[in-house]
Chains A and B, each alone.
Chain A
Amino acid sequence: MSERRQPLFLERESYRQRRTTDAARLLPVLGFLALCLPILWGGEGGLLTSVGVIYLFGVWVVLIVVAMVLARRLRRIDAQQDAPD
């Protein structure tokens, strides 16, 4: 209720929030694609485990960092949504 009476800049804010939740939904999909990417690598003489280790753990770290950033924003959003409106 009260949100409707907020000034315009909050509109932009809530737009950002929507997109943040979209990003949160997109993240696992992108992560899955990234993890499946080695299937398409192919190449001569097969894949190397050492390369695989570096790639997979790299993807892992990126996922964790992005999830951490998103979680921080999403927690704020969740708190706002849960506020009685």
Chain B
Amino acid sequence: MLSFNTLIAVCLAYVVALFLIAFAADRRARQGKFGWLRSPLVYTLSLSIYCTAWTFYGAVGYAARSGLEFLTIYLGPTLVMVGWWWILRKLVRIGRSQRITSIADLISSRYGKSNLLGVIVTLMAVIGTTPYIALQLQSVTLSFAVFAGSAAPDKNATALWVAAGLALFTVLFGTRNLDANERHYGVVTAIAVEAVMKLFALLAVGVFVVWGVADGAGDILARIDASPIAGWELKPGRWVSLIFLSAVAFLTLPRMFQVMVVENADERHLSTASWAFPLYLMLMSLFVVPIAVVGLDLMPAGSNPDLFVLTLPLSQGREGLAMLSFLGGFSSATSMVIVAAIALSTMVSNHIVMPIWLSVARQGATVSGDVRQVVLTARRVSIAVILALGYAYYRVSGGGAALAAIGLISFVGVAQFLPALLGGIFWRGATRMGAAAGLLTGFGLWAYTLFLPSFGGSVILSAELLAQGPFGIGWLRPQALFGVSGMDPLVHALFWSLTLNTIAFCVISLASFPRPQERLQGAQFVNVFDHNPNAQGWVSGMAEAEDLLVMAQRILGPEQAQGLFSREAARQGKAGYLPDISPDFLQRLERELAGSVGAATGHAMIGQIVGGASVSVGDLMAVADETAQMMEYSSQLEAKSAELERTARQLREVNEKLTDLSVQKDAFLSQISHELRTPMTSIRAFSEIMREGGMTAAERAKYALIIHDETIRLTRLLDDLLDLSVLESGQVEMNMQTADLQDIIGRSVTSAGGDGCLAIHRDPVREQVVLVTDPDRLSQVFINLIANACKYCDAEQPELRIRVRSKGGNIEVDFVDNGTGIPAKSQPLIFEKFSRLGDQRAAGGAGLGLAISREIMANLGGSVIYLPGQGGAAFRVILPVDGAASTKSKP
């Protein structure tokens, strides 16, 4: 016989190994080296927490008592898994896209984030799971007792130690991560190891029984036929009901939901698990009947069949195998308790503790760091409380046979989630009221017809009540409701609770009207495959700031949002674009958002992202995108209308100018005909005179000179017109070179003969500027301006001041005379062709000079403008120093 101390040592070593594995996995995940941590294999193995100690030990006991019926417990989940395309795929997708943290969260979130439903589901889950935890404690305690024999310490003490150890492990690895939605890699990996352990142990015992004790498969079949369970007493009602029940429980058990949906790292793992997990279940069940049969055969009458897995190897002197088997059972119990405690603690902290805490500490909601600490503490305390409850239940129930039946009773309890769950993900018409009504109805009936009677007569429900019904009303008897008697109590309870649950759920849903939030959530859940094709897991902390930034960018525009975030980060003394999510910052951000999308939406959006959102970020993005698109569209419209207005204004201006130009063109035509006609008239007249002959040589020479002069005038006029048209078309090549401004001005003054007709004041120092330009063309402009001053300055002692100064990259050359200047109304027209003002006498030009000057300056990259208010006619020539703009052609 193994000594009890050896057992303890092996057990502790195993636990330490689990700790190390969990620790290593957690660290790997933390370093981002996921690898096999996120493999379909680990996912499949983690599902094995379905197989608890109730399976490991209990299945053999069940088979020894009721034959093949135990298989229903594993066939139901098999059907659910192979039918994953129906339900599981959708559940997992919803769980991932809505960042669901538990089954209570799923139901609460689906029905408009109703906290009422969260509380109901949480309480039901706790009530349904606590006995189950007690069952695990009992199995571990019993298995200890088997080994220890009479030397066993107090059973209660063993149970207490186990409960405390499990609480420690769960707190350490189940609440390390701040985010409930984050995966617990350490725990999941440890569970996967335990899954391998229990499968290996059970297979080892099975192989030993079939090929060690019996003579192979044929012999086993013969032994089955010879055993007390040779006849398969198939009870159709129970058979179908139990397959259905285990299938439902597989979906709704909080711990199954935890590993299947919450801890799911990749949706594709589900497709592998769809066949691999049924395979696991089949292997777990494979040797149950042989062990039961051989156990019944070999073990003394009256020994507990629930412990055959342990006692059979022991009785054959296989202590090592028994030890392995013990560890398998231990693994089954511990992994179930750990996951159940994590799932329940998440529910309790999220749906019970947090709402209470938030309503008590009102301002607390805005202090994000605080909340996280509160959540963590709440989870840790909840874990301890749940295990304490399990222990208390174990003590109260006395670890008797009542516990053995608790597995199925617990199943029926959690099965009450089914209508709300399936209705929630497939039926948009399901409402919060309907769900609450269904849950309460089902739960009440479960308690009344199954849970309370399970304590046995006179504990809670009196034997009289059980037999006669409350107040003697026969058709309200707990185990024969509405006169339905002769049904198996379990089937009876399952039938009534789920039927009335579903009816209440449907009828109240049809009769009530959902709130907007419910309808929104309903649409998102039911149409999850349309909404979120690529939902991603969501990490807190930095990711929240990032999500806020992404959202803000879509609403405010990238620059503004980034500016806002980086300013905020700078204010907090951080670099980059991601500030801490401080209340101040959120308030500011909300204000910014409210400016764009309205106060209510801004508030809701921030609230969604920051406070445990259940509308996914992706959906918010869609809304934000829509808003942004609408805003963009309307701003486009605005821009377009502004542009239209601008165009209209431009058109008006152009029209005015065109009208003016039309007048000018008329004037131009009459001018040009006049200009051409005058010399032509002279030429014709004098040439006629000369043709008549009879004149002196001196006269002829004089007339010829006149004709010659007139043709020169005509030629010059035509040259000017030609020059102008070339300049205007922009086809002229400027001969850019480095030149000295002083030289150009000097040359221009000389050419224009300015010194002769008016006094010219220059500023030689400032003129010393070197610039890149076309000197000939520039001097053409200067000559024109000087000549104009010469011609039109009406002062008695005409003067011309030439000022030079440089401004920015430009040189400004002003030509200011001391005449009366140009009247304001004529100023806009002086640069137009043939716009000679007033005095027609001014000879030598056809009024093209300024027009040509303007075109030259435009070609040189500068301009020439009239400068009003200088006490005389003043022109300013602006030209770039480097001639950079000179290459720019005219528009």
Residues of A within 8 A of B (CB): 21, 24-25, 27-29, 31-32, 35-36, 38-39, 46-54, 56-57, 60-61, 63-68, 70-72, 74-75, 78-79, 81-82, 84
Contact = CB atoms under 8 A, between A and B. Distances in A.
A52 B224 CA distance: 11
Contact of B289 (A47, A49, A51, A60): A49
A67 B231 contact: no
Contact of A25 (B85, B224, B233): B85
B295 to A, nearest CB: 15
Contact of A71 (B80, B221, B234, B275): B275
**Residue among B85, B229, B243 having the largest count of chain A Cβ atoms under 10 Å:** B85
Nearest to B225: A50
Interface in B76-96: 78-86, 89
Contacts of B279: 64
B286 interface: yes
B76 to A, nearest CB: 9
Contacts of B79: 28, 31-32, 35, 63
B534 interface: yes
Nearest to B236: A39
Interface string B759-770: 000000000000
A56 B75 contact: yes
B681 to A, nearest CB: 79
A47 B85 contact: no
B275 A64 contact: yes
A77 B315 CA distance: 53
A77 to B, nearest CB: 10
A48 B231 contact: yes
Contacts of B885: none
Contacts of A54: 221
Contacts of B85: 21, 24-25, 74
B240 A67 contact: no
Contacts of B236: 39
Contacts of B267: 78
Nearest to B79: A28
Contacts of B533: 81-82, 84
Contacts of B200: none
Residue of B221, B234, B271 with highest tally of chain A CB at under 10 A: B271
B453 interface: no
Contacts of B83: 24-25, 27-29, 31
B628 to A, nearest CB: 19
21 contacts: A21-B85, A25-B83, A28-B79, A28-B82, A32-B243, A36-B243, A38-B239, A47-B231, A47-B233, A48-B231, A49-B227, A60-B278, A63-B78, A64-B82, A64-B279, A67-B275, A67-B278, A70-B274, A71-B272, A79-B268, A84-B534
B68 A49 contact: yes
A35 B231 contact: no
A49 B275 contact: no
Contacts of A67: 81-82, 274-275, 278
Contacts of B67: 49, 52
A74 B883 CA distance: 71
B617 to A, nearest CB: 17
A24 to B, nearest CB: 4
Interface of B: 67-68, 71, 75, 78-86, 89, 221, 224-225, 227, 229-234, 236, 239-240, 243, 267-268, 271-272, 274-275, 278-279, 282, 286, 289, 529, 533-534
Among A25, A54, A64, A75, the most chain B Cβ lie within 10 Å of the Cβ of A64
Contacts of B81: 67
B268 A68 contact: no
A75 B243 contact: no
Nearest to A45: B231
A83 to B, nearest CB: 8
Nearest to B286: A57
B232 A49 contact: yes
A47 B286 contact: no
Contacts of A24: 83-85
Contacts of B268: 75, 78-79
The 4 closest A-B pairs by CB, nearest first: A28-B83, A47-B232, A68-B275, A67-B275
A31 B78 contact: yes
A27 B82 contact: yes
A77 B234 CA distance: 40
Contacts of B224: 49-50, 53
B231 A63 contact: no
B282 A64 contact: yes
Contacts of B271: 71-72, 74-75, 78
Contacts of B231: 46-49
B75 A60 contact: yes
Contacts of A68: 275
A45 B234 CA distance: 12
Nearest to B244: A32
Contacts of B84: 24
A60 B68 contact: no
Given A39-B239, A64-B82, 17 more contacts: A25-B86, A28-B83, A29-B83, A31-B82, A31-B83, A39-B236, A49-B289, A50-B225, A52-B234, A60-B75, A64-B275, A64-B279, A64-B282, A67-B275, A67-B278, A74-B85, A81-B533
Given A67-B278, A84-B533, A49 B230 contact: yes
B232 A60 contact: no
Contacts of B282: 57, 60-61, 64
Contacts of B86: 25, 28
A31 B236 CA distance: 16
A25 B268 CA distance: 17
A84 B78 CA distance: 32
A81 to B, nearest CB: 8
A84 B229 CA distance: 57
A72 B232 CA distance: 36
A51 B534 contact: no
Contacts of B286: 57
Contacts of A46: 231-233
Interface centre among B71, B229, B232 (most CB of A within 10 A): B232
A47 B230 CA distance: 9
Nearest to B292: A49
Contacts of B274: 67, 70-71
A49 B268 CA distance: 38
Given A46-B232, A64-B278, A78-B271, A39 B82 contact: no
A39 B870 CA distance: 116
A53 B289 contact: yes
Q: Which of A28, A68, A78 is the most central at the interface, judged by chain B CB atoms within 10 Å of its CB?
A: A28
A38 B666 CA distance: 111
Given A60-B75, A67-B278, A52 B232 contact: yes
Contacts of A21: 85
Given A49-B67, A75-B268, A78-B268, A28 B80 contact: yes
A51 B232 contact: yes
B533 to A, nearest CB: 6
A8 B174 CA distance: 52
